[in-house]
Chain A
Amino acid sequence: MDALKKELKESIIEQLNLEDFTVEDIADDDTLFGDGLGLDSIDALELIVMLDKDYGIKLTDPNEGKAVFVSVEVLATYIAKHRTK
């Protein structure tokens, strides 16, 4: 699980161009949207595409997305459970 969390942090930094962040700057339980990393709705779309492309997970329910993208910890748990690749 730790390897997956690190991989997710690296992907988030790269995909969302978080130039000033390193993996160490993102805690497992940091909130991704709002007060945490400050991500926005365009970032949410980028993350949905990342889940589909890298892990074969298709998120279609907006409410499910809200719950899944709470933090890296929550996202990693969801991916570990639902991934198809």
Chain B
Amino acid sequence: MKPCYINSAVSISAQDTLDNSNFLENTISFEGQLAKAIHPNYKLFISPIASRRMATGVKMGIAAAKKALELAELETPDAIITGTGIGCIEDSEKFLNAILDNDEEFLTPTSFIQSTHNTVGAQIALTLKCKGYNVTYVQGAASFESAVLDGQLLLHENEAKTVLVGGTDELGKYLINDIILAETAEKQPITTPFGEGAHFFSLSQSKQNKSFAAIKGIKIFNKATTETINIKVEDFLKDHDLTTEDIDAIVLGKNGDTFDELYQTLQYSSFKSIPQLHYKHLCGEFFTASAFGFWTAANIIKHQYIPEVLKLNTIKKSNYKNILLYNQLKGQQHSFTLLTSC
């Protein structure tokens, strides 16, 4: 597949990432179990009348999407593709609790309307008055990668020249407590906090003045073990005429749980001699946290610099051309993403 070009990368996360002049310079450490997003002044992106019904995830998504288009100097993309693992959980919780509290009576429409997973993509389209292709992928920890893959296919098949892709998830108020409780019962639970965020990227079919990196390949698969992961990564790289020797840094979605052994297998074998990076201690674990990793890798290629806070080892490279991302959740929903300089 032809590479597609990244013209902007925007992150709203638990770190101060919306400000593009600061690439993880002053990061926050988290003591507790939650890493809540740092919210911008949404009035700069959404009118008060429009924003009054929007939950956190929708506001984050619209703000990140609009900023991504602004940085790419693009008014309206040909397509908007969104990934989300848990959708608008805040409004889902509000609506379901209202059903219980009011004995299935007195149900108001707002939270129900806003509770579906595709609300973010739809609201972005409404805000931009974009009537083009609009799809939301809900594929667990591979939701963002599914959106990127679809974007890449659209550009490859010449069905779009510009695509806005992103991932967004919000913490909500209730379900997250049950997830934390269930995780605590695990023998080796997730040790990073649980987080939220919105990440959007403007992609194009051809290289533009604003292009600073390219997506060379992406692969999603549901099963892998410590015995097969090295073969899978070698096969993926071979598909793109590369070997493990060609990779300048690997970005790993480590979250501290027992399935980190998959990442460790790659760390101690195929990629033991290159910079190894992690990021979920900064943004928290959530279904589209890998979009933060994607944002990180794109910025490393752009700045040719790795912030200290990301490093798992001390190996340095003079040039960061090819960066590989690997993410999985609970040993499922694996993805490889290969970014390259352009």
Contact = CB atoms under 8 A, between A and B. Distances in A.
Interface of A: 15-20, 38, 42, 45-46, 49, 52-53
A18 B51 CA distance: 10
B52 A16 contact: yes
Contacts of B113: 42
Interface stretch (B102-110, B267-275, B299-307): B102-110
Interface in B103-124: 105-110, 113
B106 A19 contact: no
Interface in B85-136: 102, 105-110, 113
Contacts of A49: 106-108
A52 B109 contact: no
Interface string B147-160: 00000000000000
Contacts of B105: 53
B107 A20 contact: no
A19 B102 contact: no
Contacts of B106: 49, 52-53
B48 interface: yes
A19 B108 contact: no
A19 to B, nearest CB: 6
Interface of B: 48-49, 52-53, 102, 105-110, 113
Contacts of A16: 52
A42 B48 CA distance: 16
Given A17-B53, A53-B102, A45 B48 contact: no
Nearest to A46: B108
A42 B102 CA distance: 20
B52 A46 contact: no
B52 A45 contact: no
Given A42-B113, A53-B102, A17 B107 contact: no
B48 A46 contact: no
Contacts of B109: 42, 45-46
B49 A45 contact: no
A80 to B, nearest CB: 21
B108 to A, nearest CB: 5
A76 to B, nearest CB: 20
A38 B108 CA distance: 19
A16 B108 CA distance: 10
